[in-house]
Amino acid sequence: MGKAIHQREGAVMILGGGIAGIQAALDLTELGFYVYLVEKAPAVGGVMAQLDKTFPTNDCAL
């Protein structure tokens, strides 16, 4: 994602960058919208990034 521009048509704000927010952001960009993913922590990923076995490689494609 590029740097946020203040005025933008077709933008959506997603509050929370866990697995839910990330997936919604990925789908929306693919559907042709610009996304502001707003996350309170210093990194996205949420709780899923803390999990061990379910997803050993937790790279997200943002």
Partner 1 sequence: MLTNADLLALNGTPGNFTATVNLRPRYIDADACTACGLCTQYCPRHHVDPYNEGLAITRPIHIDYAQAVPATYYIDPSSCLFLQHGTCQICVPVCQSHAINFNQKPEERTLNVGAVILSPGFGKIDPKTLARFSYGKHPDVVTAFEFERMTTASGPFQGEIKCFSDGRHPKRIAFLQCVGSRDIGCNNGYCSSVCCMYAIKEALVTKEHDPEVDITIYYMDIRTQGKDFDAARDRAEAIGIKFVRAKVADVTPWQNRLQLTYATLDGQHKFEPFDLVVLSVGLESPKDARKIADITKIDLNRYDFCATDSFNPLQTSQPGIVVAGAFQGPKDIPESVTQSSAAASLTAASMKSARGKGVEVISYPDEQKVGATEEPRIGVFVCHCGINISSVVDVAQVAKYAGDMKNVSYFTENLYSCSQDAQEVIKKKIKEHNLNRVVIAACSPRTHEPLFQETLRDAGLNRNLFEMVNIRDQCSWVHAGEPELATIKSKDLVRMAVCKARHIQPLPEQTVPVTSKALVIGAGVAGMTAALNLADQGFDSVLIEKSDSIGGNLRHLHHTLAGDAVQAHLQNLVAKVRASKHIELVCNAELAQTAGFIGNFSSVIASGKGADKVEQTVDHGVIIVATGGREHRPEKYLLGKSKKVVTQQELEKQLAGKGKNRAPGSVLMIQCAGSRGDDLQYCSKVCCNHALKNILKIKELNPQSQIIVLYRDMRAYGFAEDAYLEARKMGVVFIPYEVDRKPEVTEKGAKVQVRFFDSIMQEEVIMSPDLVALSVGIVPDDTDTLSKLLKLPVTANSFFLEAHVKLRPVEMAVSGVYVCGLAHGPKPVDETIVQAQAAAAKAAIPLVKGYVKVDPIVSSVEQDKCIGCGLCVSLCPYGAIVMQKVDGKRKAETISASCKACGICAAHCPTFAISMGGFTNEQINSQIEAFGDRAQVTAV
Find out whether 49 and 58 touch, Cβ atoms under 8 Å.
yes
Give the footprint of partner 1 on residues 23-52 (CB under 8 A).
Answer: 23-24, 27-34, 36-52
> In angstroms, what is the minimal distance from the CB of 58 to partner 1?
6
DSSP structural state of residue 46: G
User: What is the size of the binding site for partner 1 (CB under 8 A)?
Assistant: 55
> In angstroms, what is the minimal distance from the CB of 3 to partner 1?
10
Kind and range of the H or E run holding 26: helix 19-30
Distance between CA atoms of 7 and 54, rounded to whole angstroms?
Answer: 40
Q: Footprint of partner 1 on this chain (CB under 8 A)?
A: 1-2, 4, 6-24, 27-34, 36-55, 57-60, 62
